Structure 1
Amino acid sequence: MNKKKFRAFPIIFITMIVIAIAPTLLWIRRSQPFAFEMFEREVYNQEMSYQVAVLLLVVILIGIVYGLTGREGLAYLSLKKRDGKIRSEPWIGIKPKETETWKNLGLNFAIIITLVTVVVIYFQVAREGEMSLDLYPGILLVIVFALINAFSEEIIFRFSFVAVVNKFGYSPYVAQGLAAATFGVIHYFGTPSGIPGVLMAGFIGWLLAKSMLETKGFFWALLIHFLQDVVIFFAVFMK
């Protein structure tokens, strides 16, 4: 019994940390802890403040995961591991052929999910009124912020669960379920928002955790998330 409790403790511990971080992200977004005045447009300064603050949290979280899992957990941060066998998920239409691996599935989902995000963002944000975006630094900042945001959220909502769940021998569905639930709920207040945001983010959270578990790496999770964030930041900065 004590052994089982010991195995369960790291999962409960990391889940509590992520649950605590989720509302903290909303607080950081509202409070703007760093007063940057680097750009003419205030929206850029506000986003810079948010991203820097969240990165500090991410560094602490990586340290916590390392403390729980050692180098074995940090191995999931590899960008070189891009392939792996796909576990069949017939309920969602993932029924890979013998020759199909994550090289095929990752690219397919990157395209499909990005196109779906474009449609959702258009109806939630873009069609509300006239929009424009300055070429510089607007487009450059879209790329930079999208990359930082994707990295930070993948660490918080995917890597943390995947590394700990794998280390302590639990089912991969535990990591996927926790990733889907936490990422989905926080997007009720995010972009896209509301129930569509919860459902879409929940599915993406589940899928990207699956990609990490099956490739043993960070590549597809980061790339797919980055592409979604490029679309979202374009819409936010064009308001």
Structure 2
Amino acid sequence: MTPLLTALIVGLAAAGIFALRPVTAKIKTVLNQNSVVDFQIKFQSLQLILTAVVLLLTYLLNPENFARFFRMGDVNAHISKITWLGVTGNETWLEIALTLGLYITIGTGIFMFFQLKKAGVDYRYFLFSLLWSIPFSMANAFSEEAIFRIGIVSPLYGIFSVSVIVLISGVVFGAPHYFGMPSGIVGALMAGFLGWLLAMSLVETQGLLIAWAIHFAQDVVIITSMILMSRKLDSVPA
């Protein structure tokens, strides 16, 4: 029963994230002159409300596991050996966040660079875009980690093997990114790999900090790029 309820909660939450976009677009109140910043202020606020509901339902499914994972965790816990990534198993998750996490962020940056080049952005607004992206990235990384990591790992831990759970998290996180940012098959694969890795970090550190931090770094790159690509950046930043 728990796996079915988990699939229902996470599935509805994922659908809810997509549903929030047209809802947000219909909110007439303008909070910032830049269209992307204005959208993100409203969207992230609504998404945090959705996240709170998911966290409550996840807690009710398995309070013991929820308490195990919904915390900072041990960043010095060792990662399992992953031969194809060159991970020996002697590294801590903090070291992985600072090395592999950096490479992933650079990869995301390269992907977004070509999107920016195609859009012909005005880099005079880089600092404006970066500063706004930080709070948006903090909120978005928390929401998505709560839904796609806590929401999957917490109720399923002890029911399925860890390898199956982290694979589910990767697939469920990657698939919607086909329509998101980064988009397409490449975007979905990148997000799927990231979801798999972050789910593993949640299990092995017994906490959310490493997963949130790596996700936050990706979102800073992505959301900064989204704001830069906005066609209304010619207006004076508010």
What is the TM-score normalised by the length of structure 1? Answer: 0.88
Deviating more after overlay: 12-21 vs 30-39: 30-39
- Aligned-pair distance for 1:135? 4.1
Alignment of 1:119-130 (within 5 A): 119-130=110-121
Q: Describe the SS at the equivalent of 1:114.
A: helix
| Separation in structure 2 between the aligned mates of residue 36 and residue 217 of structure 1, nearest angstrom | 37
- The residue type equivalent to 1:113 in the other structure is I
Hey, what does 1:53 align to over in structure 2?
46
Contact preservation (8 Å) 2:71, 2:207: yes
Contact preservation (8 Å) 1:121, 1:192: yes
- The residue type equivalent to 1:11 in the other structure is P
- Indicate whether 1:17 and 2:9 are aligned: yes
- Aligned-pair distance for 1:67? 0.4
Structure 2 residue aligned with 1:27, among 7, 19, 28?
Answer: 19
| Separation in structure 1 between the aligned mates of residue 197 and residue 14 of structure 2, nearest angstrom | 19
Identity across aligned pairs (percent)?
A: 32
Change (3 A) 1:135 1:106: closer
| Separation in structure 2 between the aligned mates of residue 181 and residue 80 of structure 1, nearest angstrom | 24
Contact preservation (8 Å) 1:36, 1:46: no
- Aligned-pair distance for 1:110? 1.6
- Aligned-pair distance for 1:34? 4.2
Extract unaligned runs of 5+ from structure 1: 1-8
- Aligned-pair distance for 1:106? 2.3
Structure 1 residue aligned with 2:92, among 71, 96, 101?
Answer: 101
Q: Describe the SS at the equivalent of 2:178.
A: coil
Extract unaligned runs of 5+ from structure 2: 230-238
Aligned residues: 227
- Indicate whether 1:110 and 2:66 are aligned: no
Structure 1 residue aligned with 2:164, among 174, 199, 208?
Answer: 174
Contact preservation (8 Å) 2:3, 2:156: yes
| Separation in structure 1 between the aligned mates of residue 115 and residue 121 of structure 2, nearest angstrom | 14
- Indicate whether 1:39 and 2:32 are aligned: yes
Contact preservation (8 Å) 1:165, 1:174: no
Alignment of 1:59-208 (within 5 A): 59-97=52-90, 100-132=91-123, 133=125, 135-136=127-128, 138-166=129-157, 168-208=158-198
Change (3 A) 1:74 1:124: farther
| Separation in structure 1 between the aligned mates of residue 221 and residue 121 of structure 2, nearest angstrom | 17
Quote the RMSD (CA, aligned, Å): 1.8
- The residue type equivalent to 2:18 in the other structure is L
- The residue type equivalent to 1:10 in the other structure is T
- Aligned-pair distance for 1:216? 0.3
Q: Describe the SS at the equivalent of 1:187.
A: helix
| Separation in structure 2 between the aligned mates of residue 83 and residue 216 of structure 1, nearest angstrom | 11
